[in-house]
Amino acid sequence: MMTVKEVAHAPLKKNEEKASYNIILLGPPGAGKGTQGQAISLKYGIPKISTGDILREAVVHKTPLGVQAKSFMDQGKLVSDEIVNGLVRERLSQPDCLKGFILDGFPRTVQQADTLRKMLEDFGLKIDAVISFDIGEQELISRLSGRRSCPKCKAVFHISFQPPKKSGICDGCGGALIQRDDDKEETIKHRLREYQEKTKPLLNYYEKSGLFHSLPGDGSIESVNKTVERILSKQKME
Ligand code: AP5
């Protein structure tokens, strides 16, 4: 069987298009990474890899990793780099990522970013765009406190800004929507502090890469999406 690196560099067949985007979405909790990631994933048919979703799934199933991660997540703290790096390496080595991927919520520390760089080198892959959503704290709190999520298909809604067609029911799969445990005000404040201390330094880290795009995240979902699309199509032409 071919390795991920071999498949990534295999010559293209006639009429076959080059693999599409490998994207990193950055921004504080509630900035819209999941929402925009979901839209890009649908448009380009590439997987959205949310470390938060993978960890929440492990918590629900009470796997050893989930048990370890739960207390950190409940307090709004970051889970250890070692755990998260391992999860991402495993996920990126799956064949669907060869068509491209969207990293939502990873990397989140400089250590994770360094590990990702080495991981991608091993796989013979590279990042095409790093998109960061810039947004004020009050807006973040109102987004997070009104968020409702589908635990089955991971779709994201908001009671006012993006309501489901039928209250409490997922438009996509018909599952019952829930409010995340960490979307309580006290935990939100802790998550925002973690972002400032540990994740914000990544903006500088990626600014030097030439792939970094910062955009205002406080417009409507549609207008933010248009800007993301513009960035991606410009990136493709370069
Ligand atoms: P994670 O699940 O990644 O949460 P997060 O980064 O805090 O981000 P959110 O999912 O809260 O927000 P989002 O930016 O995706 O916003 P969304 O699109 O949903 O992580 C959870 C926990 O897991 C962490 O605290 C940590 O413990 C652990 N973890 C995960 N990754 C880790 C890592 N790499 N390292 C260590 N630990 C890790 O939007 C929010 C709401 O706003 C929605 O209701 C949406 O409908 C609405 N909305 C979105 N865009 C707009 C808009 N433009 N206008 C109006 N409303 C909007």
> Would you list the domain boundaries of the chain?
4-46+99-136+197-237
**4-46+99-136+197-237: CATH topology:** Rossmann fold (3.40.50)
Task: Please say if 191 is a catalytic residue.
Answer: yes
CA distance 34 to 70: 20
Query: Which is the catalytic residue, given 48, 56, 147, 148?
Result: 147
| Pair 54, 78: CB distance under 8 Å | no
Say whether pTM exceeds 0.75.
Answer: yes
Distance 211 CA to ligand 1 centre (A): 22
DSSP 8-state assignment for residue 144: H
Helical H segments across the chain, by residue range: 4-9, 33-44, 51-60, 64-74, 81-92, 110-123, 137-145, 185-194, 201-207, 221-237
User: How far, in Å, is the centroid of ligand 1 from the Cα of 34?
Assistant: 6
- 148 catalytic per annotation: no
Question: pLDDT 10s digit of each residue in the chain, 238 long?
Answer: 444 455 444 444 443 444 479 999 999 999 999 999 999 999 999 999 999 999 999 999 999 999 999 999 999 999 999 999 999 999 999 999 988 999 999 999 999 999 999 999 999 999 999 999 999 999 999 999 999 999 999 999 999 999 999 999 999 999 999 999 899 888 999 999 999 999 999 999 999 888 999 999 999 999 999 999 999 988 776 6
